[in-house]
């Protein structure tokens, strides 16, 4: 009697996330009504830049959280 094995494959996104620990931090500057004015990025040191920078995931999460606290409702900070 032959055995059959069933394997569940992880989603593509989770597989990519496991293989790619580097992230980009985007800063969406908003006007008073919440409309997007401009998209900028954070570098590894937390400076705002017009060019994207690659940041290690754990550092990116900390930088993004800190920048969101500083900018408040003036921006939406995301780790991509």
- 10-residue mean pLDDT profile of the chain (80 residues): values are 49 56 95 97 96 96 97 96
pLDDT of amino acid 15: 54
Which regions of the chain does DSSP assign to beta strands (E)? 22-30, 36-42, 48-49, 54-56, 75-79
pLDDT of amino acid 9: 46
Say how many CA atoms lie within 13 Å of 50 toward its Cβ. Answer: 1
pLDDT of amino acid 73: 95
SS3 content of the chain, % helix, strand, coil (to 5): 30, 30, 35
pLDDT of amino acid 21: 87
pLDDT of amino acid 62: 96
pLDDT of amino acid 80: 94
Neighbours of 25 (CB within 10 A): 26
Please identify which residue in the block is written with the tokens 């500083």. 70
């Amino acid at each position: 009697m032959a055995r059959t094995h069933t394997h569940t494959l992880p989603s593509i996104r989770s597989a990519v996330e496991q293989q790619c620990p580097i992230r980009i931090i985007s800063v969406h500057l908003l006007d008073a009504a919440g409309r997007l004015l401009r998209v900028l990025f954070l570098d590894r040191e937390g400076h705002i830049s017009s060019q994207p920078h690659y940041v290690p995931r754990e550092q990116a999460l900390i930088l993004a959280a800190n920048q969101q606290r500083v900018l408040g409702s003036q921006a939406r900070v995301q780790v991509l």
